């Protein structure tokens, strides 16, 4: 009967526990975190399964690079979501400055909440800006292929998109002779972000972590490798859809230090 079919459809779309709280505060990776049970990525964190190997490897590299001479270390978290990498960067104690870019209003509010929960609202700089290759107003659109409720930056062509401000990161900061550790998770906007980092990549020793699934974003990894190679950053490892690069000059310093020992 049509009525029964409609009722069955409605029941199938009701959450398993409609009375549970959507938001919960849990301790994960040494931090108190506000997590959203309706977000698939947050549900992975609730299970303790989200990117632990990737996070550990990035900060292992950063620790090794920090042993070499530098004019101070800075961490840039571009596409910070609710701050997993920025929080971990602070916990490691390697960086004189930590700067998180997050343009999505929901993610940005969750990021601010997590800084507050950990007493870090003055220790980590947060910018509600979209890193790109030029300064302009763009929009946010939901991705359909990830099924994770994520958003990515698009041209502001349709009024239903939320507006966001795009900026070149190298026009916001003038770091020079620093060790820059850069985490980029921007859902299809990787090339534009790297183009907007070009001055910083040229003037600093850099460690870059790109999260960009090659199977989903056809050709992205090859383009990323080519752009970073122009700045003498070598592709050193991939873990699933996460790709790691570091300055060739840094590699030579480490190699020289080993020989000196």
**Interval 226-260: pLDDT, tens:** 999 999 999 999 998 899 999 986 443 444 333 33
Of 238 and 137, the structure prediction assigns the larger pLDDT to: 238
**What is the chain's mean pLDDT, rounded?**
83
Q: What is the pLDDT of residue 217?
A: 59
Alpha helices in the chain (DSSP H): 2-13, 40-46, 52-66, 84-92, 105-117, 169-172, 190-195, 198-203, 220-230, 248-260
Task: Provide, rounded to the nearest whole percent, the portion of the chain with pLDDT above 90.
Answer: 61
Q: What is the pLDDT of residue 162?
A: 64
For 33-54, b/e burial (b = at least 16 CB within 10 A) is bbbbeebebbeebbeeebbeeb
Q: What is the pLDDT of residue 13?
A: 43
Q: What is the pLDDT of residue 2?
A: 44
Q: From 108, 13, 9, 95, select the one nearest 59 (Cα to Cα).
A: 95
Task: Provide, rounded to the nearest whole percent, the portion of the chain with pLDDT above 70.
Answer: 77
Domain 52-260: which CATH number of 3.40.50.150, 3.30.70.100, 3.20.20.150, 3.30.420.40: 3.40.50.150
Q: What is the pLDDT of residue 17?
A: 56
Of 197 and 7, the structure prediction assigns the larger pLDDT to: 197
Q: What is the pLDDT of residue 163?
A: 73
Contacts of 135 (CB under 8 A, 6+ apart): 165, 166, 167, 168, 171
The tens digit of pLDDT for each residue in 33-86 reads 999 999 888 998 998 877 889 999 999 999 999 999 889 999 999 999 999 999
Question: What is the rounded distance in angstroms from the CA atom of residue 204 to the CA atom of residue 178?
Answer: 5
Question: What is the rounded distance in angstroms from the CA atom of residue 142 to the CA atom of residue 77?
Answer: 21
pLDDT category, 220, cuts 50, 70, 90?
A: confident
What is the mean pLDDT of the segment spanning 203-218?
80
Of 11 and 142, the structure prediction assigns the larger pLDDT to: 142
Contact 89, 61 (CB under 8 A): no
Q: From 76, 113, 117, select the one nearest 95 (Cα to Cα).
A: 76
Contact 144, 187 (CB under 8 A): no
Q: What is the DSSP letter of 68?
A: S
Where are the domains positioned within the chain? 52-260
> Measuring CA to CA, how many Å separate 80 from each of 6, 134, 147, 253?
41, 20, 19, 30
Question: What is the rounded distance in angstroms from the CA atom of residue 200 to the CA atom of residue 193?
Answer: 12
Q: What is the pLDDT of residue 161?
A: 59
Angle, CA of 224, 215 and 210, to the nearest 5°: 35
Q: What is the pLDDT of residue 219?
A: 73
For 147-178, what is the HEC assignment?
CCCCEEEECCCCCCCEEEEEECHHHHCCCCCC
Of 16 and 184, the structure prediction assigns the larger pLDDT to: 184
Question: What is the rounded distance in angstroms from the CA atom of residue 73 to the CA atom of residue 214?
Answer: 30
The tens digit of pLDDT for each residue in 99-125 reads 999 999 999 999 999 999 999 999 999
């Amino acid at each position: 009967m049509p009525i029964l079919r409609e009722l069955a459809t409605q029941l199938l779309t009701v959450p398993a526990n409609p009375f549970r709280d959507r938001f919960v505060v849990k301790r994960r990776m040494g931090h108190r975190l506000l997590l959203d049970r309706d977000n698939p990525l947050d549900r992975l964190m609730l299970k303790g399964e989200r990117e632990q190997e990737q996070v550990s490897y990035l900060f292992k590299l950063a620790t090794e690079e920090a042993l070499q001479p530098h004019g101070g270390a800075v961490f840039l978290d571009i596409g910070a979501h609710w701050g997993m990498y920025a929080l971990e960067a602070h916990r490691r104690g390697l960086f004189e400055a930590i700067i998180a870019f997050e343009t999505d209003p929901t993610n940005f509010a969750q990021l601010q909440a997590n800084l507050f929960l950990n007493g870090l609202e003055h220790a980590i700089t947060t910018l509600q800006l979209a890193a790109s290759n030029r300064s302009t107003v763009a929009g946010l659109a939901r991705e359909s292929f990830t099924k994770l409720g994520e958003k990515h930056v698009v041209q502001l062509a349709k009024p239903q998109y939320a507006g966001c401000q795009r900026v070149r990161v190298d026009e916001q900061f003038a770091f020079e002779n620093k060790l820059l550790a850069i985490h980029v998770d921007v859902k299809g906007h990787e090339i534009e972000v790297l183009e907007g980092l070009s001055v910083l990549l040229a003037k600093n020793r850099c460690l870059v972590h790109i999260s960009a699934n090659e199977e989903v974003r056809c050709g992205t990894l090859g383009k990323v490798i080519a752009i970073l190679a122009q700045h003498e950053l070598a592709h050193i490892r991939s873990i699933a859809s996460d790709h790691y690069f570091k300055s060739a000059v840094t590699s030579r310093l480490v190699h020289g230090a080993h020989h000196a020992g």
